[in-house]
Amino acid sequence: MKSDIQFANEKLMGSFQKLSDGNYEERQLKKFIERAFRDITENAFCVVQIPKRIIPEIYIKLYNVKNLWKYNLPNAWRLIYSLEKGRINIISIILEWLDHKEYERRFKY
């Protein structure tokens, strides 16, 4: 099912845009995230759904998420997003991207 991409907030969108001005690794990360956006736009369910029982409390407090999805990016990065039903379509709300170490910390693995 197709979806539209939105950032959870302006700060996150600004961080994404700043990746273009960063070092080589940051520019590569931006390309990986853009590829993920294309995939998610084509099929919002193309990734791994995170079980509700392990959704980190911070996502519930900050964004009131009811579901959570994980897109595995290259170099052990993770893109985390939630889905909401719009009036006509599905909206994929990007919450954050994090490296594997931070991902494990966030999800208490």
State how far the Cα of 37 lies from the Cα of 65, in Å rounded to an integer.
19
**pLDDT per residue over 46-68, tens digit each?**
999 999 999 999 999 999 999 99
> For residue 49, how many other CB atoms are within 10 A of its CB?
11
What the block records as the tokens of 1 is: 């099912």
Question: For domain 3-106, which CATH number applies: 3.40.228.10, 3.30.2310.20, 3.40.50.800, 3.60.130.10?
Answer: 3.30.2310.20
Dihedral angle sign, alpha carbons of residues 67, 4, 61, 30: positive
* Domain residue spans of the chain: 3-106
State how far the Cα of 23 lies from the Cα of 102, in Å rounded to an integer.
20
At 88, the pLDDT band (50, 70, 90 cuts) reads confident
AA identity, residue 75: N
Mean pLDDT of 76-81: 96
